[in-house]
Amino acid sequence: MKRLLHWAKVVCFVTLLLVSFVASATSAEKPAKLEVYNELKSWLVEQHVIDTVSVVPPYLNNLIYANSPYLISHALQPIDWQEWRPAFETGSNDDKLLFISIGYSTCHWCHVMAQESFSSTEVAAVLNESYVSVKVDREQWPLVDTHFKSALEAMKGEAGWPINAILTPDGKLIWIDSYLDKQSFTKVLIGLAKRWQTKPSAVQGLAKRVEQKLLLDKPPVSSRNSVQLSSSQWREVLPRIHADISSGLAKDQQAGGPRFFRAYWLLGLLEQYLRQRDLAILHQVQNHVDAVIVSPTYDAIEGGFHRYAVDGDWQVPHFEKMLYTQANMLRVLAKLYAITKQARYKIAILQTVEWTERWLNQQAGMGSAVSALSEGLEGTYYQLAATERSKINYSADWPQSATVKALRQARAQRVKPAVDEKVILSWNSAYVVALLEAYQATQLQSLLDKAFVVSDKLWRHFVDEDQIYRSSFAGRAAIKAEAEDLAWFAKSQLMLSFYSPFMIEEQDTSSAKTKKDSPYYRGQFLLNRLVASIETPAALDRVINLNRDGEMPSVRSVAFSALTLGYNLSQKRQYKQFAKSVGALSVNWQRQLVNEYSFVVHQANVLDAVSIGQASFARGNGRVIASEKSNSVVLNFEMAAGWHINAHQIDNRRLIATEVSIESADEILTYPNAIEKKLGFDNQVLQLYEGNFTIAAMILEGQNFTGEVNLTLQACSDKLCLLPETIKIHVL
């Protein structure tokens, strides 16, 4: 390597980040830049980076080798860009300052700055002479992005992209800002370069003052001096946090300015509704989602949600579409449909999934985003007159209406916006989770099939022996997976295992390949990798400090969720131990939890689980699916070989009988015939249910069925009986 950077100190809440910049490799190591460019020419035309394949680029930098469409789009600029890479060495680069620019492919102001400044030979001359210039795709390097975003928030009061930062050669921040016009940006570059050349001690002094400012703004949390709330403390604090979120949503709906989806607020409030049956909570969420669906921020013509609205009434979208936005909102729609059975939510689910599969489908999974730009302008592809929108009947199946079909046909004549074909592991795994929750709500087999297809693509392309990657483009996987990727991937696999055949580890004689193809074992493999990645105090602290919800839930939130699910299905104590460690809070935890409601929701579920339509029990060796049919509730059970639950009438007083009750209603229960047998731990003949069986409850006429079923059972194997379990299921 010719150029190396050591990020010596993290001055926000992210701990040590060691980075380097890899300069051009020798021709023996890499093909020539022009050779790679020639291979990419057709793609560059499709992405509107060049106009024709006959273009001979006057400039070509190292980003032509990148594994990201966003970075490759900067490869023809006159700046000597380097790509951000992890490093294991430290060093400097001829005493030059470091310029780091972070963006992503669908970022509007990133493109503006690229055209105004990064394509300028005058700006390039300054950067090439006095700086090592580094370009970062924030979607590939979320920890790097989080670090600089936090610094920008602390220094400027708000953050947006692109993020541009200048550092000393040993990695100390001296300046950070977002978009600047060419004149202002050039002035900053020249001024700091001159200052560094003439008075480096003054610049180092500036770096120390910036560091102190950032440390005071966001002191890091350590697992060694953190707070662990007891169950009773959580029960005490949860109602207040739920109320704060509900109040925050109400204020958000009244405020003007940019509006982002509050998916994690909505999901948590819906679960709280299922616990309390407070209709005010349900109506608040419905009003919020209904306002979005009938607004331009939801694409009623093809499906899918735009990233956010510029105004306070959802009428002026920022037109980019992100995979994670679709995943988040699919989960909200699924939960709303499961609760209300109102058709518009199911229609929006299917339309959004159809859009995602049609627009984003790639070899390795789903692409990350669709640009807002078309024909050089934002939103051109999506523009729809208010009079045309007013004709859409959202009370019917609008995608199949003549109005929407005509509008869709007219849109097909326009130039489509570009797709970022980069596949991100965590985002795709979140999409699999969303498909599974949509399947649970709708029972449409196509959604479950799609979840398995995407999951298998991810396993084939992102897992290579013991190495797991985060990002893939053009069939090439790159960048080591982070805790976020491992946690989401593990969670999606463990959820998929509900729909796969039981495999008993102790007795299973199936082939190694069959085990490898099992979502249950894949999930445990990934959880073990997650645990290994946070075994050191520094690594654990880094995850604990990723404790703020953004476009995706906080990293520690999804890690906690995956580890808790893994423990519930396997009873492996290390998962429970690390879930507890990941759940460590700072001494200012009251303020922290308001910004991390996704974690609060998971903690609430630990205390009082909300199961919609189905549940696992017996350490994952039993499953039950509940549905309502003809004024009856039907519970379909499936148990792994060697496991059973006690029947509803038993002779052994030491064991707990199976009992089903319908909340707020009288019912007539029909239990299956018991199987009588002796087990290894008891000489007495026992009454059991095993294998596949059904319990039905006919609700008496005139009863007010709330949709909740309570199930008490005790599961046993031939060797032991587990403690009794109580399960509450919201029936579909």
Confidence of residue 514 (pLDDT cuts 50, 70, 90): low
Rg over CA atoms, the chain: 28
Q: What is the pLDDT of residue 408?
A: 95
Write down which residue in 191, 217, 243 finishes a domain.
217
Q: What is the CATH number of the domain that holds 27?
A: 3.40.30.10
Q: What is the pLDDT of residue 515?
A: 66
Q: What is the mean pLDDT of residues 227-249?
A: 93
Measure the CA–CA gap between 525 and 522, rounded to whole angstroms.
5
Give the domain extent around 112.
Answer: 3-217
* Angle between helix 555-570 and helix 573-582 axes, rounded to 10 deg: 160
Q: What is the pLDDT of residue 512?
A: 52
Least confident of 36-40, 177-181, 347-351, 564-568: 36-40
Q: What is the CATH number of the domain that holds 627?
A: 2.60.40.1250
Segment holding 231, helix H or strand E: helix 231-254
Q: What is the mean pLDDT of residues 286-315?
A: 94
Q: What is the pLDDT of residue 86?
A: 59
712 within a domain of the structure (yes/no): yes
Q: Is pLDDT of 100 > 80?
A: yes
Measure the CA–CA gap between 604 and 709, rounded to whole angstroms.
19
381 within a domain of the structure (yes/no): no
Q: Is pLDDT of 233 > 60?
A: yes
Q: What is the pLDDT of residue 258?
A: 74
Better-scored residue on pLDDT, 530 or 14 = 530
Q: Is pLDDT of 707 > 90?
A: no
Q: What is the pLDDT of residue 13?
A: 29
699 within a domain of the structure (yes/no): yes
Least confident of 64-78, 83-97, 448-462: 83-97
Q: What is the mean pLDDT of the chain?
A: 89
How many Å is the maximal CA-CA distance in the chain?
91
Which two structure tokens, joined as six digits, stand for 371?
Answer: 């640009």
Q: Is pLDDT of 491 > 50?
A: yes
198 within a domain of the structure (yes/no): yes
Q: What is the pLDDT of residue 53?
A: 84
Measure the CA–CA gap between 730 and 732, rounded to whole angstroms.
7
Confidence of residue 702 (pLDDT cuts 50, 70, 90): confident
Q: Is pLDDT of 291 > 90?
A: yes
Confidence of residue 217 (pLDDT cuts 50, 70, 90): low
Q: What is the mean pLDDT of residues 305-314?
A: 92
Q: Which of 74, 95, 78, 70 is nearest to 5 (CA)?
A: 95
SS3 content of the chain, % helix, strand, coil (to 5): 45, 20, 35
Q: Is pLDDT of 98 > 60?
A: yes
499 within a domain of the structure (yes/no): no
Write down which residue in 217, 244, 277 finishes a domain.
217
Helix (H, G, I), strand (E, B) or coil at 588: coil
Measure the CA–CA gap between 286 and 462, rounded to whole angstroms.
38
Q: What is the pLDDT of residue 19?
A: 33
Measure the CA–CA gap between 534 and 178, rounded to whole angstroms.
32
Q: What is the pLDDT of residue 587?
A: 80
Q: Which of 342, 262, 341 is nearest to 305 (CA)?
A: 262
Determine how many CB atoms are found less than 10 A away from the CB of residue 460. 13
List, in order, residues 6 or more apart from 471 with CB less than 8 Å away: 67, 68, 139, 140, 422, 423, 424, 425, 477, 478, 479
Q: What is the pLDDT of residues 445-487, one digit of tens each?
A: 999 999 999 999 999 999 998 899 999 999 899 999 999 999 9
Q: What is the pLDDT of residue 24?
A: 34
Q: Is pLDDT of 691 > 90?
A: yes
Confidence of residue 89 (pLDDT cuts 50, 70, 90): very low
Which two structure tokens, joined as six digits, stand for 355?
Answer: 């859009």
Provide the CB-side half-sphere exposure for 694 (13 A, CA). Answer: 10
Compute CA 439 distance to the chain's CA centroid, rounded to the nearest angstrom: 18
Write down which residue in 217, 242, 258 finishes a domain.
217
Measure the CA–CA gap between 701 and 93, rounded to whole angstroms.
80
Q: What is the mean pLDDT of residues 171-186?
A: 95
Q: What is the pLDDT of residue 75?
A: 95
Q: Please tell me which of 82-96, 233-247, 504-518 the model is most confident about, judged by mean pLDDT.
A: 233-247
692 within a domain of the structure (yes/no): yes
Q: What is the pLDDT of residues 610-655, one digit of tens each?
A: 999 999 999 999 999 999 888 889 999 999 999 999 999 998 888 9
Q: What is the pLDDT of residue 516?
A: 72
Q: What is the pLDDT of residue 29?
A: 61
Please give the share of the chain, as a percent, with pLDDT higher than 90: 71
β-sheet bridge partners, residue 367: 423
Q: What is the pLDDT of residue 456?
A: 97
Q: What is the pLDDT of residues 314-370, one digit of tens each?
A: 999 999 999 999 999 999 999 999 999 999 999 999 999 999 999 999 999 999 999
Q: What is the pLDDT of residue 507?
A: 45
Residue 134 main-chain phi, psi, to 5 deg? -125, 130
Q: What is the mean pLDDT of residues 502-522?
A: 67
Least confident of 124-138, 261-275, 406-420, 679-693: 679-693
Please give the share of the chain, as a percent, with pLDDT higher than 70: 92
348 within a domain of the structure (yes/no): no
Q: What is the mean pLDDT of residues 115-134?
A: 96
Domain count, the chain: 2
92 within a domain of the structure (yes/no): yes
